[in-house]
Chains A and B, each alone.
Chain A
């Protein structure tokens, strides 16, 4: 069993108990086959009376019951383990930083974990049965008939040997083919997604023939591989059935000479296939099980990243681990003075620094615009103040206290953040706004939310939504325009009256003129009495600031007074 998975399964009581019972049920059902063969051989040989049919029916009933129990318990173990993995994975999300391959993570935590089902409910029980039942069959055969037992013992190892041999020789080819299959699906999805673009350039019909050709080439290649890959199952099937012939024919001849009784002969005939069956069942479930193992590997690679990324990434330079609930409380009072001292930020796996020896003082209540070309480190600066990233060198001070020593939850309570592309959660408009509230959506007064919505000019469009403030948003919810999304995010900040520092990341990017004007006006009001640090690239936003800080390539460019300030 997968090492990390095993550790987790042991730690989770409901997984441990259910899995153990499930495997026990599978093994017990497998052993009952021996009893069933015993009784059946007795009845058919005429040794036992017809009355034995009753215990036979009972054994059959027990097998059915155990099979049912095995399935139910496996289902329980699988769901419990998936929940545990999901909790582990989702618990790590914050520590991974905002930019971590988010799409893959969502898939992995959702459908990706379902790949574990065949592993837990099919493969593991099959392994348990394969470990016990063939052995029991062989022991029984030794007692019943030495010659048969020897044949089975000699041929039985051929199954794993041939399985491994053929599997080993075709492994790389098969794997390449499965990857090609995935790529083929990817190609088709790609073409379907890009259909509007293809249509615009008159290439849509041409691609249909490309789809056919690619699929045909893929089919031909796959069939070449399968011809070899399926040889493994051919060999296994042949070993199993020829062994049966190898057992049955001599047994028949010995019956003829009278050196064997019929009951033993029938028992041998019934039992011999049962020695091979578990091993073959395990083999057929192997491939699906390996997909589950791959999913588990992915989960643990996310959860224990050091195994994957190696030690060269210093812990202190990586994205901040969840460091909440500890550290000193931030000094309360008015807006803090924020001081960056020679701060350098380096992201793991990147050569260049995201911020390079930046020193900056932001006075309480000051409005600072951060400008610079994309990739200059503007967003990193905000993430630094939010505690999403920590400095590799230098320090960030709030009212003279190093941010590294502060309780992050406490500190963030004094901040209000409007990201460049705010995420709208799959809840109502009102709950999306109430995210900003320190009390949580359930404890926030509807009037407070309305007021924030008014201030951020959400009210303008919220009334027109199908269910007003109760309209669900998110992927399957109402589609808001970029400007409307920004305003919802801004309303979150308005919903946080205690916030002293405003961090805005290009709040007017992708907006048209009128939406921009609305956001600028709302931001101006929100910034009153607060420190505001605004990453901006549109003049209207820059105009709002007392001071413009220019970043280029992660470094500060000598400061210039705000253009807009001059114009005023």
Chain B
């Protein structure tokens, strides 16, 4: 992690250069510089034209200047146009490349741990930073540098002392001020970010907890807490505005004083009127590309932070070690052996602590246990999205660590925890589990997941909303189940398929499911015991260990978690 951090921090451009866009970038920078240079040259040649004309030379002496003024006036706009097109083209390419690379880096990273939805969306926003880096920071800086050097050289030909004054002024406006604003932005954002997060949390409390607050008459308290947080953030934002305004003011001051200094040195050196005017006005205009760099410096600090975060994310170590030379995937039907499996998340207590079970072809095993017992971790280990600490999982005798994780998931997969609904049509949301599936296959899977009534109502082409807003929890679960049935892996894993369904539907779904999966290799995680008499074996997990195992009838006969749960379920179940 620290290695990635230093490389990204040292060169934010690493993100861009990977795509071989150097030529486009140079082109855009040259166009930007040409536009700025044309601007300076326009004023310089106009100044020369006017001051020289006042000396009333023959008209021929002015003809070159007249042509130059007209030429620079025309080309400035054209170069600017070229710069903007080339710059945006490069920026869009860079952003697309960044997103693709970030995504590819995330594929083996396993389930992004403890990352809230807002952190994910911030990550996506961070990929926009590449655009800003190019269009708002890099290209203007290069253009300002080239223009500044050119102006200093021109001034140097006229009067070396004036060139020194100009160079000093440009250094202040184009280097010192941006460096200052970048440093200030870093310092301020370190204070503003927590204040912003605090405000966001209070606002979220007020909005999401509106019912709770209203019911308990605590709304005014929460509102004043939110406004206090707003006040703290406002104070910080005002402080930041102060710094940025000061940078702006100092920039303007530097520009003006530099011009004054250039005129003063020119007059002291007895320079003629034409050269003085050209030097003064060139100095004045040479600042125009440099002055916006102070604002760019502020943005640059944010860009660097964003790129560093992206680098850290992309450097998330893979969830599992892939074998250098993967063994060929075994052919189904498969026997799955879990042998004394230990899995640990981070440095905590083992989530699974010596679990063994065997799934022979056609056998169905249910895993039950209180929340936090390690049920979902067991499925993750089977799907190779968490690493095995000790023990083994074998598919037909082949250790899964010798197989590529993609191959394992092609064999062992199904309905995972927290299934996701994409912003796509109902049909596409299903078809992702079977791109080649026929319409009949899809319809059959939908029927077996008891989703058919819903798909008939909404149609296959309805686009499901952002965050699955148009999908209720129960429908989401059934959609995910339909996907798993459509994918039809040799070993089917189901994590709480009846979760979030109402009692009646859950019972029907479980009954259907147990009916439909007869004769298939399946591992079912559930907290509903009804119908489990149909499975071949039930494993009770508690605290990462198997505390009981056997058929339903055996477990009900023995004291323990299973019997307790069964009794409380049976007691409260209306005659069933």
Contacts and interface: CB of A to CB of B under 8 A. Distances in A.
B242 to A, nearest CB: 5
Contact of B248 (A68, A248, A435): A68
Given A53-B260, A56-B260, A196-B111, A219 B65 contact: no
Contacts of B57: 256
A231 B420 contact: no
Interface stretch (B304-312, B405-413, B545-553): B405-413
B241 A121 contact: yes
Contacts of B252: 60, 63-64, 67
A200 B573 CA distance: 35
A199 B385 contact: yes
A45 interface: yes
Interface string B259-271: 1100110010000
B95 interface: yes
A270 B573 CA distance: 90
A538 B371 contact: no
B503 interface: yes
Contact of B211 (A75, A208, A419, A543): A419
A252 B273 contact: no
A514 B46 contact: no
Nearest to B278: A44
A59 interface: yes
Interface string A439-455: 01000000000000000
Interface stretch (A130-138, A239-247, A306-314): A239-247
B96 A44 contact: no
Interface stretch (A5-13, A168-176, A220-228, A526-534): A220-228
B441 interface: no
Given A63-B252, A474-B205, A219 B92 contact: yes
Given A53-B264, A64-B250, A474-B201, A109 B207 contact: yes
A126 B88 CA distance: 25
Interface stretch (B212-220, B358-366, B388-396, B532-540): B212-220
A65 B203 CA distance: 37
Interface string B36-56: 000100110011011111101
Contacts of B348: none
A426 interface: yes
A407 B420 CA distance: 44
A404 to B, nearest CB: 16
Interface string B409-436: 1100110101111110000000011010
A235 B74 CA distance: 10
A351 interface: no
Counting contact residues on chain A (CB < 8 A from B), the size range is 35 or more
B432 A93 contact: no
B445 to A, nearest CB: 13
B253 A423 contact: no
A426 B273 contact: no
Nearest to B50: A265
Contacts of B217: 409, 412-413, 438
| Interface hub of A253, A258, A426 (most chain B Cβ within 10 A) | A426
A61 B251 CA distance: 11
Interface in B149-190: none
| Interface hub of A45, A200, A258 (most chain B Cβ within 10 A) | A200
Contacts of B244: 71, 75
Nearest to B203: A109
A75 B203 contact: no
A538 B215 contact: no
Contacts of A79: 234, 237-238, 241
Contacts of A64: 249-253, 256
Interface stretch (A84-92, A149-157, A291-299, A342-350): A84-92
Given A75-B245, A208-B100, A219-B96, A226 B54 contact: no
B283 to A, nearest CB: 11
Interface stretch (B6-14, B225-233, B332-340, B447-455): B225-233
Contacts of B89: 219, 223
Contacts of B207: 90, 93, 102, 105-106, 109
B327 interface: no
B223 interface: yes
Interface string B310-352: 0000000000000000000000000000000000000000000
B73 interface: yes
Contacts of B81: 230-231, 233-234, 237
B172 to A, nearest CB: 12
A188 interface: yes
B309 to A, nearest CB: 14
Contacts of A223: 85, 88-89, 92
Contacts of A248: 46, 49-50, 69
Given A110-B200, A186-B423, A80 B84 contact: no
Interface string A174-204: 0000000000011111111111111111111
A197 B420 contact: yes
B552 to A, nearest CB: 15
Contact of A417 (B49, B212, B222, B422): B212
Given A248-B69, A423-B208, A474-B201, A512 B227 contact: no
Nearest to A253: B53
B96 A234 contact: no
Contacts of B472: 374
Nearest to A63: B252
A215 B127 CA distance: 13
A265 B46 CA distance: 10
A483 interface: yes
B569 interface: yes
Interface string A491-518: 0100010000001000001101111110
Nearest to A257: B56
Nearest to B219: A94
A166 to B, nearest CB: 12
| Interface hub of B121, B215, B246, B260 (most chain A Cβ within 10 A) | B215
B257 interface: yes
Interface stretch (B26-34, B102-110, B136-144, B508-516): B102-110
A563 to B, nearest CB: 4
A216 B259 contact: no
A193 B120 contact: yes
Contact of B413 (A59, A110, A201, A208): A201
A201 B111 contact: no
Shortest beta-carbon contacts, A-B, top 10:
A71-B245, A75-B241, A60-B256, A68-B249, A215-B96, A64-B253, A423-B209, A539-B572, A237-B77, A417-B215
